[in-house]
Amino acid sequence: MPPLSGKADSIGRAMHHPCRLGERKNENMAAIVINGAQWGDEGKGKATDILGGHVDFVCKPNGGNNAGHTVVVNGEKYELKLLPAGILTPNVTPVIGNGVVVNLEALFQEIDGLESRGADCSRLRISSNAHLVGPYHQTIDKVTERFLGKRAIGTTGRGIGPCYADKVNRIGIRVQDLFDESILRQKVEGTLRSKNELLVKLYNRPAFEVDEMVDYFLRYRDRIAPMVCDTSLLLNQALDEGKSVLMEGGQATMLDVDHGTYPFVTSSNPSAGGACVGSGIGPTRITHAVGIIKAYTTRVGAGPFPTELFDESGEYLRETGHEYGVVTKRPRRCGWFDGVVAEYATRINGFTDMFVTKLDVLTGIKEIPVCVAYEVDGKRFDHMPESQSDFHHAKPIYEMLPGWTEDITGARTFDELPENAQKYMKRLEELCGTRVSYIGVGPGRDENVVINDLVAEIKGC
């Protein structure tokens, strides 16, 4: 059979496809997903900062300004909420993907804060399909929480859930609507019609005026305009050219609206699959899925937490680990490492690697409990219970591991860790069900034990 080279070339040109017929796209690219493997606050910002310094694009695919990352660069601490951690890395293009809900006021406050400290935010790109958080979303979030009373979810009150609800109800306002004032006004009128009824008649709150809200959104139009583009096209073209993209997931697996501890969850899918949806990058292009997990466990807000501690051990973890929310400053609930949650997160996300953070916090504890299973009404669960009710009543089954007293902050290789710290990490790896590639031994950017150098793997893709 004669070759189809001529026909393949014409097909390739017609489809704007970089491959010849029968060939695959550029396999020298790298698309990395970073996701929290617990209930958030695992140290994703640090992991993103480390890996993000060796990629071309860093994309935030979900969430809003309701969750933050703390990044330490050259001894300076940066608290990022809406912006991707890649904003701090020169030569990296930071991207806010279509799955993010954007509070414009918070966005530019954060940008102004970084620029006042010398950061360059001019490279930021924002999806035209991202939805916008309005002041009415925040009001509804707060009054709804108060109305729920004892059944409150424990939201941050920043309007994230109501904004995602508008998105699903198809009455949301997107970034692209800022550039068509007629469409923007129609959408504001439509969404306020029902919201004002709710606020005035049920919650006894004042109504929002259409003109006021239109003006609120339009005041940011000129400033955001140079940042707006089709970010899915931008990121996929970058991959086609052999460049690397890192997707920095907000929140965490156990807060996923489908796979988390529902209803005590966020309003998006902070899982590897959600990162694909929120960035517009197909799942077949993912080369690494990296789970970020603490050497113990924390949670903010309401909801079940099997290994939670209510004694001096919990207070020790909180104070030693500085476990207070980046955004809310709320004290985090603390508990021992939960291997059932870790295995579940690996399964849901298909993690190829784990980055274990804050191992140094456990230094000095004589004996460290690790949850290896649950007990519910006399029945053992080695995997996540199917029923939320069972999970709510789960009691941890602990395995005791010997602790260590040596300072580990200077360790950079696995062999430099104390023997008991090595044993602890080997057991955690077994429970996670995937390889541990990095271990955080301090808050600094370089305070890590490197077992599998993902940077080298990324560059080799």
Active site residues: 41, 69
Distances (CA, A) of 23 to 9, 17, 240: 12, 11, 13
Chain position carrying tokens 């295995």: 343
Q: Are strands 76-80 and 101-102 parallel, antiparallel or unpaired?
A: unpaired
C-beta of residue 400 within 8 angstroms of C-beta of residue 368 = yes
Distance CA 300, CA 151 (A): 15
Nearest to 421 by CA among 432, 435, 407: 407
Amino acid making up residue 162: P
239-248: burial string, b at 16+ Cβ within 10 Å, e else? bbeebbbbbb
Question: What residues form DSSP beta bridges with 100?
Answer: 63
Is it true that the peptide bond before 84 is cis, omega within 30 degrees of 0? no
C-beta of residue 248 within 8 angstroms of C-beta of residue 84 = yes
Q: What is the DSSP letter of 82?
A: S
H-helix or E-strand containing 269?
none
H-helix or E-strand containing 192?
helix 181-197
In sequence order, what DSSP letters do the residues of 87-133 get, joined into one string?
Answer: GGSTT-EEEE-TTBEE-HHHHHHHHHHHHTTT---TT-EEETT-EE-
Q: Compute the half-sphere exposure of residue 304: CA atoms within 13 Å on the CB side of its CA.
A: 20
What sign does the dihedral 46-47-52-57 (CA atoms) show? negative
Question: What residues form DSSP beta bridges with 126?
Answer: 96, 228
Nearest to 300 by CA among 326, 319, 337: 326
Distance CA 461, CA 456 (A): 9
Helix residue spans in 293-385 (DSSP H): 312-320, 339-349
Distances (CA, A) of 15 to 10, 21, 59, 231: 9, 11, 26, 19
Local structure of 2: helix, strand or coil: coil
Amino acid making up residue 97: G
C-beta of residue 114 within 8 angstroms of C-beta of residue 83 = yes
C-beta of residue 189 within 8 angstroms of C-beta of residue 207 = no
